[in-house]
Amino acid sequence: MYAVLSSIFLNEQLNVHGKIGCILSILGSTVMVIHAPQEEEVSSLESMAEKLKDPGFIVFAVCVLVSSLLLIFVAGPRYGQSNVLVYVLVCSAIGSLSVSCVKGLGIALKELFSGKPVLKEPLAWVLLVCLVICISTQINYLNKALDIFNTSVVTPIYYVLFTTAVMMCSAILFKEWQHMVLDNIIGSISGFLTIVSGIFLLHAFRDMPFTPTLLPLFLQPGRADPHPPWSSADRHQSCQHQPLLPSEDKGSQSAEEEEEKVPVPACAAQ
């Protein structure tokens, strides 16, 4: 959708590879969402706090923060102007944490409206501060990516990476993958590989022009057939198919009449 809107309002065009990459990315994300496991129900801040204290989620959050800092301070100054994945990866990784914060704040608001003293809970304020920091970082680096690169390239890649990061975070935080059946596992892996293929087409061939001259000859519009039809070849016979001497069984008079009837080829006349 973003690629279509950017091509309409910003006059930014995608080549054939980019359009195929967008389609593959959307299809892969759809397959992953269809085969995604159901979230484990979390109904209170106490249960949410227990989820956040899980060692698996703590390791995931630390990895996200460390990788984001490396991308911002190490990879950003070197490759941020030439590689679209640098800033988009920062937005996607931080965005996965922001979704978890939104989940916790939603539970806090639900308890607040039910009359519980949520404002005295430190976890609610911690989640609010983390959400503000994550969203600010996310918007900042997404705008940087949009200022440097084509909108029709940035938005599909960001959508796909953000969706993948959120699903990974939810799977680790809420233990969604423990009760998955085999067909859902295969569907999720297939969707992820489809997403990777779409991102590769979007990123690797984004500056490659696709013109009709790159098509095979028989698909190029207005291109003459390199092999002329047999009818035209019959009309213009070569010299090697013309008799050099008249046949011996005919007389001289018949030979002269035959020569008058048969037109002389242009190559023989020369």
pLDDT digits (tens, 9 = 90+) for 101-152: 888 888 888 888 888 888 888 888 999 999 999 999 999 999 999 898 877 6
User: For every residue of 4-67, which 3-state class applies, written as one string?
Assistant: HHHHHHCCCCCCHHHHHHHHHHHHHHHHHHHCCCCCCCCCCHHHHHHHHCCHHHHHHHHHHHHH
Whether residue 176 lies inside any domain: the answer is yes
CA 91 → CA 6, 168, 240, distances in Å?
A: 20, 15, 74
Distance CA 154, CA 243 (A): 71
Distance CA 107, CA 121 (A): 12
Whether residue 245 lies inside any domain: the answer is no
Q: For the CA atoms of the chain, what is the radius of gyration?
A: 34
Whether residue 134 lies inside any domain: the answer is yes
Whether residue 103 lies inside any domain: the answer is yes
Distance of CA 60 to the CA centre of its chain: 25
Whether residue 60 lies inside any domain: the answer is yes
pTM above threshold 0.75: no
Whether residue 248 lies inside any domain: the answer is no
Q: Please give the tally of structural domains in the chain.
A: 1
Whether residue 250 lies inside any domain: the answer is no
pLDDT digits (tens, 9 = 90+) for 194-242: 877 877 776 666 556 655 565 566 555 655 455 544 444 444 444 444 5
Whether residue 217 lies inside any domain: the answer is no
What is the domain extent for residue 132? 1-35+43-205
The pLDDT of residue 210 is 59
Q: Which residue has the tokens 């590879």?
A: 17
